[in-house]
Amino acid sequence: MDKILLMLQLQATLNDATNGEDWRKGVTKNAKEINWKRCIYMECAEMIDSFAWKHWKNIDAAPDFANLQIEVVDVWHFVMSLAMEEYDRHMLGTIEDIALNVSQSEAYLGFESAKETFDTQSNIIAKVEDVMFIALDKEKFDIEKLIGEFFILAAMSGLNLESLYRLYVGKNILNRFRQDNGYKEGTYQKTWDGEEDNVVMKRIWEENGDIKPDMLYKEMAKIYFALHKS
């Protein structure tokens, strides 16, 4: 439960900083509508692009499992945000209640100690589409079902609680770094010496097993500003 609660708290802090304190009401500080469900199914579409699913193009390309995991983590940002919005809107409880309910769910208990192995391409894509269908259901939307299906998808994508937590914290720090360096204004440069910043962040984590979040931020800043001197 502790890691789930910490991730929820980190996401709430990021949302407060990025969108203002009314994000749970579906609006940013700039009065722009927030649609977490759309964020989820659009990121799921990007997740499918980790595979050579097109029958007319790159039919023999190998799956990009590293990108798949990054996209899973991106979806997790939005699933947590939607959960907090739903719990607040329907007066279902606090962040602590979400963490408790998640930690007691059957899907989470299986995910917590899942083996870090990948399922087949067809099975993963089918599960991604299950998540999309839930997010697109306007009549019978069920946040608990969405969270459960997400954990099944994450396990099929070679993640367990520890690896999801590690990647999430890394992406949370990267998102903060992006916001601090012109992401909303369109001046941030996402490609670092031919690599996407997600890839650079993941490699820093892998090469520095004990690195703390604040040091991760500093390492990314060192690389970014060396490459993008004004």
pLDDT in tens, 49-70: 999 999 999 888 999 998 899 8
Q: Is 175 among the domain residues? A: no
Q: Is 199 among the domain residues? A: no
Tell me whether residue 88 is exposed, middle or buried, using C-beta atoms within 10 angstroms of its C-beta: 0 to 12, 13 to 18, 19 or more.
middle
pTM for this prediction: 0.86
Distance CA 90, CA 85 (A): 8
Does position 171 have pLDDT exceeding 90, yes or no?
Answer: no
- pLDDT band, very low/low/confident/very high, at 230 (cuts 50, 70, 90): low
Instruction: List 195's β-bridge partners, or say none.
Output: 192
Q: Is 181 among the domain residues? A: no
Segments forming the whole domain that contains residue 68? 2-169
Q: Is 107 among the domain residues? A: yes
Q: Is 194 among the domain residues? A: no
Angle at 12 between CA 156 and CA 139, to 5 degrees: 60
Q: Is 176 among the domain residues? A: no
Average pLDDT over residues 91-107: 93
The alpha carbon torsion through 12, 17, 22, 23 (nearest 10 deg) reads: -60
Tell me the torsion sign for CA atoms 72, 75, 81, 85. Answer: negative
Does position 44 have pLDDT exceeding 60, yes or no?
Answer: yes
- Number of structural domains (the chain) is 1
Q: Is 160 among the domain residues? A: yes
106-152: pLDDT as tens digits? 889 889 888 889 999 999 999 999 999 999 998 889 999 999 999 99
